[in-house]
Amino acid sequence: MSREGRRAPEALPGLLAALAYLFLYAPILVLVALSFNESRLSAAWGGFTLAWYTKAARDPAILSSLRNSLLVGFATTVIATAAATAAALAFHRHRFRRQGVLEGLLTIPTVAPEIVLAASLLLLFAAAGLRLGFLTVILAHVSFTVSYAFVVVRARIAGLDHSLEEAAMDLGAGPLRAFLKVTLPAMFPAVMAAALLVFALSIDDYVVTSFVAGVGATTLPLQIYSMVKTGVSPEINAVSTMILLATALLLLGAFLIEQGRALRLAALPAAVGFAVLGAPFVMAGGAGSPADRTLNLYIWSNYIAPETLAKFEKRHGVKVNVDLYDSNEALLAKLQAGNAGYDVVCPSDYSVEVLLAQGLLRTLDRSAVPHLANVDPAFLDRPYDPGNAHSVPYFWGTSGIAYSRRRVKEPPASWGALWDPRYRGRILMLDDAREVLGAALKWRGHSQNTKDPLVLAAARDDLLRQKPLVRAYNSTNFEDVLLSGDVWLAQAWNGQIARAMAQDPDIAYVLPREGSTLFIDNLAIPRDAPHPALAHSFIDFTLEAEVAAEICRTMRYSTPNRAAWPLLPSEVRANPAIFPPPEAVQRLELIRDLGEATVLYDRLWTEAKSE
């Protein structure tokens, strides 16, 4: 065999290993590289910059979420490490019946699915009547990190010689002194390693935190996720790179201590890890103190511009916390779990109906919302909230089909276009049970509020047949996916498409001939809102003509505010995608609460998506 022939197989394992590592680390490398990219676009390299890091460090939302993460991280670390150490010592010192079982039970949370843990914690807190916030986040973090800390400490002290402590006591030391002078120093490295691990886990957690955070306790991972929802910016790459670096250093510290290296050696990476997390505060010149009066707003994404919120903050000397959602079902779940801490929410028509039936909304004090007089009566006194006793209209709009003119030659006049095999892999549907089943129902000439199980099952089958053509189910940034060219046809809500149309004349929007959804989204105050007076001020603020016009101009959903109409630029007022002509409105239908039949919609939607 020639020498070359022999060398190739020898090099193979090395090559495979290199490929495997590349597969593991390539995404991270891309993220880190893009965090230094001068260009906003991930597709093009525009030169090296640190600007995204400075920008992130000056962003108040990032700073306050980082502060929250650190607070939660430190509290969790102290509590979980102390509890785990006590437990490990107890198991080490004493022998008792069922010890193995009990030890095993302590470690289960390390392998239990996080989502189960998250849901059960949320249920527990709701049952206990705890308001979601810092306390619940810390309790939740302790409940899963304590297991990891226990495993670390327990493994390390397995070899600890108990007779040393006894010898110390024989020499006259009291039990406390013997513990402090003999046992604790011997355990110290294990305790430190556990503490660093707990801190890193707490700083990183998304799933559990997203269930139990409520308002005001938004941690850094939650903040990053909500930023991703409104569009991926290079700032996120910068923040993610910092978190990555900090956790890697903390874990390296923990690893070195566990390996029995000198504490001094391990302290270095750990200290740098903490410094990375603290740096933004130094760069920002210290964190500003949070305003004592805060309005907690829970609203659809792409529904209000930061400048509008800033105006309200300035006028009232308060801070507005905003959390975003992309489906009525997400909002309902949050409010039904209780104690979410929101002051103002934005349910669509049928969700107002659901919330009212469950007594979850506060009756409005009409004298505190005088600008309601600005609203066109056509949007008032609808069956979902007679007399608007609990809600005021904020935006209205439509669902329709958005498309690329270049790619889709004839305008898609029917919902059937979304089942056209020519567009396989280029179709996007909203990620929304009522809207997507609604489109299938409308296509076949039914009401989107039907309760007929046979008709509904047929709609599910239509969705199953459509599935191979669908690129994505997305209710968040469908307009971006269309703009990027990844999809050519999208079931969409009008406002975000109107914004996309202003950016790119290739995008168009139609209301299918079979009809589609008319939605009226409303501001309302949850029954347990912590700041109802401020909530009323906010609602009234959005009803002022100038403010309503600004909200419509920036977000491009349709305003029901009559007084705002003359203040709108003509490209908004005369855009049929924003204000459809009356004959088109005729074909639209409100989604209604279907009571018991909602379960059926949920089930069919799950079947359509998961099969």
Residues that bind ligand N2P (CB under 6 A): 300-303, 348, 493, 519, 521
Nearest residue to ligand N2P by CB is: 300
Q: How far is the CB of 603 from ligand N2P (least distance, A)?
A: 22
Q: Which amino acid is at 201?
A: L
Whichever of 235 and 521 has its CB closer to ligand N2P, that residue is 521
Measured over the CA atoms of residue 417, residue 421, residue 425 and residue 431, the dihedral's sign is: positive
Nearest distance in Å: CB 348, ligand N2P: 4
What is the rounded CA–CA span in Å between residue 386 and residue 488? 41
Bridging pattern class, strands 294-300 and 507-510: unpaired
Question: Hey, what long-range contacts does 466-471 have (CB within 8 A, 24 or more apart)?
Answer: 466/418, 466/419, 466/427, 466/429, 466/440, 467/608, 467/611, 468/424, 469/418, 469/419, 469/420, 469/421, 469/423, 469/424, 469/425, 469/426, 469/427, 470/427, 470/428, 470/429, 471/425, 471/426, 471/427, 471/428
How near is the Cβ of 607 to ligand N2P at its closest, in Å? Answer: 24
Q: Which of 388, 393, 333, 337 is nearest to 363 (CA)?
A: 388
**CB of 303 or CB of 601, closer to ligand N2P:** 303
Q: How far apart are CA 408 and CA 540, in angstroms?
A: 43
Give 143 or 598: the residue with its C-beta nearer to ligand N2P. 598
301 versus 559: smaller Cβ distance to ligand N2P: 301
Contacts of 342 (CB under 8 A, 6+ apart): 215, 296, 297, 298, 323, 334, 335, 526, 529
| Angstrom distance (rounded) from CA 288 to CA 295 | 17
Q: Which is nearer to ligand N2P, 343 or 431 (CB)?
A: 431
99 or 503, CB closer to ligand N2P? 503
Tokens of 157: 């002290």
Shortest Å, Cβ 98 to ligand N2P = 53
DSSP state, residue 511: -
Count the Cβ atoms, other than its own, within 10 Å of residue 430: 23
Of the pair 301, 466, the CB lying nearest ligand N2P is at: 301
Tell me the closest approach of the beta carbon of residue 90 to ligand N2P, in angstroms.
52
HSE at residue 598, side-chain half, CA atoms within 13 A, is 14
- The DSSP line for 255-280 is HHHHTT--HHHHHHHHHHHHHHHHHH
Rg of the chain on CA atoms, in Å: 28
Nearer to ligand N2P, 273 or 580 (CB): 580
User: What is the closest distance, in whole angstroms, from the C-beta atom of residue 307 to ligand N2P in the complex?
Assistant: 18
Output the six-digit token pair for 428: 């996007």
In terms of CB distance, is 125 or 303 closer to ligand N2P?
303
Task: Report CA dihedral (562, 477, 355, 539) to the nearest 10 degrees.
Answer: -40
Q: C-beta of 519: minimal distance to ligand N2P in Å?
A: 4
Query: In whole angstroms, how close is the CB of 158 to ligand N2P at the nearest point?
Result: 54
> Which burial class, exposed, middle or buried, applies to 134 when counting CB atoms under 10 A from its CB (0-12, 13-18, 19+)?
middle
- Least Cβ distance, residue 493 to ligand N2P (angstroms): 4
Closest CB to ligand N2P among 72 and 352?
352
CB of 96 to ligand N2P, least distance (A): 57
